[in-house]
Structure 1
Amino acid sequence: MPSVTHEALVELFKNRPTLAAEMLQDALGQPVPAFTEARVESSDMTEVTPSDRRADVIVVLLVGERQRPAMAIVVEVQLGVDPDKAYVWPVYVTQTRARHRCPTRLLVVTIDAGMARWCSRPIDTGHPDWTLKPLVLGPEGVPVVTDAEQAKAAPEAVVLSAMAHGQGEAGEAIGVAFLAAAAGLDEERRAVYGDLVLSSLNAAARRTLEAMMKSGYQFQSEFARSYVAKGRQEGLLEAKAHDVLAFLEARGLEVPTEVRERVLASTDLAELDRWIRRAAVVSDARELLGTTGF
């Protein structure tokens, strides 16, 4: 199931169809044809594969009075390693190219530097001279948006900037730029985007922004409330999982790969607490996953 962070990034590209072209051209230096409209199209790929395949966003750049497709962009948000992508991404590109009869690019978006490196690996399709090289927009490539006028012109870009750079030194300036853009948004986007920006900023930047808003800011949208709550939950799960592994390693026990992966994949706080207690007494790390006792 896609995470809330994943869905937030997808919504940015859906709400601003030109964002994919802007990131390709301005952030990644990829040539984009002149176009008169950018349109989000159906991302359903089920007609060419037996299982359900759906790209995150497909944007088609249109040109001329007849709105002829000049380029299609398949946008994929990737936040975790998924070996299956090496097989489905080429399908997304070729199917989109066939459907819209135009050149097609794959733009992979991630806010993690390690994931950006993983996503950038060329995909050898097995056919001579056909290697797909994903165009990856990672945190280093996302522009740092601190200019108020730029934020007003492209509010989705400043939200993306906050998600990529909000924990750094530019966090406060990004937040202030977003405030300049917020007044021009409709109520729903102002609530969701505001919450996303604030939840992405470092603590000092957030305090400054809250003070500028003249009252204690309350998260206004259910979407963003779940975003923050899930982020806190995931952080706690990760911390406890690493506590389990650290306890075993501190006792000099070898941790097999299958045990490590099972611990890191746990989404149950009670289970992790139980494993922390068991880690203090087991003689073999494999005993950790037993269900008896403790």
Structure 2
Amino acid sequence: MVDRQTKPLAIALMGPTAAGKTDLAMALHHHLNAEIISVDSALVYRGLNIGAAKPSAAELAAVPHRLIDIRDPAEPYSAADFCKDATHEITNIVAAGRTPLLVGGTMLYFKALLEGLSDMPASQPAVRAQIEQEALAIGWPGMHQHLMDIDPETARELHPNHSHRISRALEVYRISGKTMSHFRANSGSGLLDSYQWVQLAVAPRDRAVLHQRIATRFENMLDAGLLGEVEALYRRGDLHPDLPAIRAVGYRQVWEYLSGEIDRSEMVARGVAATRQLAKRQLTWLRGWPDLCWIDTQNASGDLLEVDEIVNKALSFLPQRPI
């Protein structure tokens, strides 16, 4: 067996939305011989900038991020796509003598990359259409309850209105007779044993602090032009709410506002609530994550730490490697 210390170092930086992952990653980039790989299901799409909290053009010029702006919003991007692309990028970064720094909040992508993807059945349009017909009759929360009866482990990871993933989990079961959690438990080999992974999670320990950051950030996004950004996507004519890009938190709620389904105040309330729900799901994933090093962004008095203090905490978890 290869000794863990002889394996190339790779860093995974996770955390809930609005916790400060991107700022920390860019600061770490300056301290380490590292290159950043984005692990975010919204940042892969071109045109999703403000609402996805994409680094600015100036920031990306100074600190390049891989796997950003690689798909048109009309083209869905899957966990399997991410695993293929991320594996390629990690290999190239290590071959160049640098350290891959994977940063983001899409926990499913991290899990698939580290633990491997299972051999789940391919989608069958007829089965999916039947599921969507049933959802029209009883709603996605009702379908979520069906999934809870069949596969509680998967259902507990999903919001009752996460139509795409609920539909896929039910589809997998109806096609194969096996649950999605069964396939995951018997997944193929991932990259966990191929590198010396340091897995970090950054978040304030006080949930109220995170909630306030979420509310403030959503208002700042609106001030920065989020409505215009989504309107440009809306006017394209080839996009619709069932696409993963348009279902992204924030975009879905603004889309509903632009289509006249809700007013502006409801859009803001739903956008903030959806972001808080996303953060809750991310934290639920992280609490059960093995070998995770937590970086608390608050001091003993509850005040937020300065960036340099957070960076030093992160650096303290990295191994001392021979030169």
Is TM more than 0.5 here?
no
Q: Give the TM-score taking structure 2 as reference length.
A: 0.27
Q: Give the TM-score taking structure 1 as reference length.
A: 0.29
Which one has more relative contact order, counting CA pairs under 8 Å at least 6 apart? 2
Q: Which has the larger radius of gyration?
A: 1
